[in-house]
Amino acid sequence: MLDSLRKVLYHILNRPQKKNNVTFFGFHRGLQNVAFEGKNAIPDRCNFSGTIKIGYATTLGYNNLLGGTITIGKYCQIGADVAMHATNHPMNYMTTYINKNLFQGELKKLKEDKQIHIGHDVWIGHNVIIVGNVNVGNGAILAAGSVVTKDVPPYTIVAGVPAKPIRKRFSDKVVQEIEALHWWDKSEAELEKIKPLFFKDFTNKESIYE
């Protein structure tokens, strides 16, 4: 009986709620720190602090943690348990401790404030950690479990701890053509006109128009 009641309560509390063209599931903290562009999906247990912008149609994962000055582009997909830390404890002072238990928290002003910028159409795998300053280019893939501490070029796959480039997804010309297309800025009607391009396999191709 108790288990059944818990299941019912969980179902009720995790029903999707839509507000300003953003779909929310479960519980969150710090939503007042986020500017959403719309058509976003925010699952349970996401935590936000700082100044954060999330682009159109970008979806987050369960238990995401975003802290600091962070900009995420359009049409990105972010896996579960991803953390982005644009701030850091001070490392060049007597202590890294900035909690209010020491000097009533005055040392918090020594915290390092950096920035994380994620481009458009980026796929971030499960349990990735990103530590600023970091710029992730359009179309990049951050493999599951990676710790990203440096910039990631567009359309590049990175993996490991710390993350290193594995390979480019496409040839330089294909990358240039996709970047020039700026499909993420197009309306739904405009996207319908170029829809066939999204179903092409660009393996070993030198142009998206082949």
Give the residue numbers marked as catalytic. Answer: 89
Q: Are 25 and 45 in contact (CB under 8 A)?
A: no
- Cis status of the peptide bond prior to 162, with omega within 30 of 0: yes
Q: What is the spatial distance between Cα 46 and Cα 151, in angstroms, rounded to a whole number?
A: 24
CA-wise closest residue to 168 among 153, 184, 179: 153
Pairing of strands 17-19, 22-24: antiparallel
Q: What is the spatial distance between Cα 172 and Cα 187, in angstroms, rounded to a whole number?
A: 26
Number of H helices, E strands in the chain: 3, 19
Q: Which residues, 6 or more positions from 2, have their beta carbon under 8 angstroms from its beta carbon?
A: none
